[in-house]
Amino acid sequence: MKISKLLRKPAVFAVVVALSAAGIHAPVMAGTIDTPEIAMQAELQIQRDDVRSIMARADVRDAMLGYGVSTADIDTRINNLTESELLQIQNQMAQLPAGGSAVGIVLGIILIFVLLDVLGATDVFPRI
């Protein structure tokens, strides 16, 4: 029997295709993930969650809405903060008084507005 007639049979054709595909190996590239990299990503997520929890407070949310900043803009900007910006926010919040004095709350809100204005989410301070 000729090969061309043999390849017209579906079972033989399927076997030939399967054997030829088995010989093809696609290169696989996989990088390793270091433990410090995973730890840094987890730390960044914790810092973002801390900032979100502060922004979720009723008094802060009301102040932000009073300035015309929507909650969707806040979440978007928090997700786009870099590591250094998150650390800066956390450090400045850690320096605020624990009692939550009116001056501390106002300074915290102003800091958040400045950061949101620098990132382009708001236009509260047009000269920044």
Name the pLDDT band for 98 (thresholds 50, 70, 90): low
Residue 15 has a pLDDT of 72
Tens-digit pLDDT profile for residues 3-62: 666 556 777 767 767 766 666 666 666 677 778 888 888 888 888 888 888 878 888 788
Write down the pTM of the prediction: 0.46
- Long-range contacts, stretch 56-61, CB < 8 angstroms, 24+ apart: 59/105, 60/105, 60/108, 60/109, 60/112
Q: Is the pLDDT of residue 1 over 60?
A: no
Choice between 74 and 31, residue whose per-residue pLDDT is larger: 74
